[in-house]
Amino acid sequence: MAKTLIVPGLFGSGEGHWQRYWLADYPAAAIVEQQDWNHPTLARWHGALEAEILRYETVDLVAHSLGSVLVAALAGRPVARRVRSALLVAPCDLDETERLHPGAVDFGATPNRPLPFRSLVVGSLNDPYMPFARLKSLCEKWGSSLVDLGHAGHINVASGFGRWTHGYDLLKVVEGIADLKPNPAAGKNTNSLAVVDAGSGPTQPHLSSNRTEGVTPSAPASRLSTRTFAGIPDRKSSSPR
């Protein structure tokens, strides 16, 4: 059974963040702790992430913001073989992050290699840390499927995301992607599954729940039931671990 690891971004995920609620709701999940949340360097953060992954045979990663970039940087590293799937929420653009927090992050260039594990990116049309056009381009490079939550900001506490139970459903979706086909070979993702737009407006996966916890009126979660993924069958999955 895969272990769910929570991977926060810059400044960590403090009280009230959906990642902290995830840990409270599913105590079997674990968080990847960093020594310095305020001044991350890629080498140190990678060391902590890889050390935690190596504790388990297989992991599912649930990352936010800079944590999503950290997970993407696993491409090409041996430890990536232990990653079954990754839910990458609101990846940040490193140039925008530098503009908003000058000198805080030392991560080098944004990783753009195809990910050797199944991945689902959750993005927003008005994320101050990532222009949506740039996010779509990045997903193509990573070979990731993309879910658009509409005008949902950075998908954090400031944009109204507290106990975000739709995230649990999204992890089930990405687990379904991982179980559907073998992981793509490192270096080229030829089997990525794209979100299919069944009509106008943002694309969404079909979820079994219409709950709207933690979502502001500008990002109506009810739309999550109006779009479907191509090729992913209805599937009952165990709760996030």
pTM beyond 0.95: the answer is no
Which residues sit opposite 157 in a β-bridge? none
CATH label of the domain that carries residue 16: 3.40.50.1820
**Residue 104 lies inside a defined structural domain of this protein:** yes
Q: Is the pLDDT of residue 46 over 60?
A: yes
Mean pLDDT of all residues in the chain?
77
Count of structural domains, the chain: 1
Grade residue 181 by pLDDT with cuts at 50, 70 and 90. low
- Is there a contact between 221 and 164 (Cβ–Cβ < 8 Å)? no
Helix pair 166-180, 18-25: axis angle to 10 deg? 80
**Residue 239 lies inside a defined structural domain of this protein:** no
**Residue 38 lies inside a defined structural domain of this protein:** yes
By the 10 Å C-beta count (0-12 exposed, 13-18 middle, 19+ buried), 103 is classed as: exposed
Distance in angstroms (rounded) separating the CA atoms of residues 20 and 17: 5
Grade residue 141 by pLDDT with cuts at 50, 70 and 90. very high
Query: Which residues fall within 8 angstroms of residue 60, CB to CB, at 6 or more apart?
Result: 2, 3, 4, 5, 83, 84, 85, 86, 87, 171, 174, 175, 178, 240, 241
**Residue 182 lies inside a defined structural domain of this protein:** yes
**Residue 172 lies inside a defined structural domain of this protein:** yes
Provide the residue range defining the domain that includes 178. 3-229
pLDDT in tens, 127-139: 999 999 999 999 9
pLDDT in tens, 65-122: 999 999 999 999 999 999 999 999 999 999 999 999 999 999 999 999 999 999 999 9
Tell me the H-state helices in the chain: 18-25, 42-53, 66-72, 94-100, 132-142, 166-180
Distance in angstroms (rounded) separating the CA atoms of residues 199 and 105: 39
